[in-house]
């Protein structure tokens, strides 16, 4: 087992095979939900990231999510509290911006997982070359542990779609 896998297992308490999947693997496992999720995140630039503070309480912050090269990337300013939170505890939740008004076209979408910082090297250099982010910055690669979409169908049902690694998308309908 690699050092990264050891860390993921220690943090999650789960066997490594259930620890999470990258965006490409999720897109293959649940292509319809992945397409809707990307569409919802692509509709607006800023979203809400939840991380865990040192004392375990939640911290919410604005963030731009970047789906690129089969990964969901989280970039943030150097030394930001959310970056320091993720360095200490990689668990996160990311909520798509619901947009103006109450229509929420496409529904409410949330992603949960773990974020691991990408240090200087080939991956970060390629990202910098393509995106040209302000320097210096933190870049995190994510592993997904859950994707949830909630929406109203036919003005009758509240529909909740839930995906977790190793399982098909579960759909629940409530009246």
Q: What's the whole-number average pLDDT of the chain? A: 88
Confidence band for 106, pLDDT divided at 50, 70 and 90: confident
Is the pLDDT score of 110 beyond 50? yes
pLDDT at 19 over 70: no
Single pTM value for the model? 0.85
101 pLDDT tier (thresholds 50, 70, 90): low
Question: With contact defined as beta carbons under 8 Å apart, do 108 and 45 qualify?
Answer: no
Cα distance between residue 18 and residue 8, in whole Å: 10
Give pLDDT, residue 107: 86
Per-residue pLDDT band at 2 (split at 50, 70, 90): very low
Q: How many CB atoms lie within 10 A of CB 60?
A: 12
SS3 121: coil
pLDDT (average), residues 10-29: 70
Q: Are 60 and 48 in contact (CB under 8 A)?
A: yes
Rounded Cα distance, 2 and 18, in Å: 15
pLDDT digits (tens, 9 = 90+) for 43-79: 999 999 999 999 999 999 999 999 999 999 999 999 9
The pLDDT assigned to 18 comes to: 46
Tokens of 40: 């919802």
Q: Which domains does the chain have, with CATH numbers?
A: 3-147 (2.30.110.10)
HSE-up of 131 (CA within 13 Å, CB side)?
21
Q: What residues form DSSP beta bridges with 65?
A: 74
Q: Are 140 and 74 in contact (CB under 8 A)?
A: yes
pLDDT for position 103? 64
Distance CA 77, CA 14 (A): 31
pLDDT band at 104 (very low <50, low <70, confident <90, very high): low
């Amino acid at each position: 087992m690699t050092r990264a896998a050891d860390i993921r297992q220690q943090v999650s308490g789960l066997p490594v095979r259930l620890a999470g999947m990258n965006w490409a693997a999720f897109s293959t496992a649940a292509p319809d939900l992945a397409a809707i999720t990307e569409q919802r995140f692509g509709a607006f630039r800023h979203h809400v990231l939840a991380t865990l503070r040192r004392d375990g309480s939640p911290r919410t912050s604005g963030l731009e999510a970047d789906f690129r090269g089969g990964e969901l990337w989280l970039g943030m300013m150097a030394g930001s509290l959310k970056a320091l939170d993720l360095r200490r505890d990689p668990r996160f939740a990311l909520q798509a911006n619901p947009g103006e008004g109450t229509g929420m076209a496409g529904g409410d979408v949330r992603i949960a997982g773990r974020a691991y910082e990408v240090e200087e090297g080939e991956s970060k250099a390629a990202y910098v070359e393509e995106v040209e982010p302000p320097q210096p910055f933190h870049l995190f690669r994510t592993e997904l542990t859950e994707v949830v979409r909630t929406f109203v169908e036919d003005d009758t049902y509240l529909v909740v779609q839930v995906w977790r690694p190793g399982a098909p998308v579960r759909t629940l309908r409530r009246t």
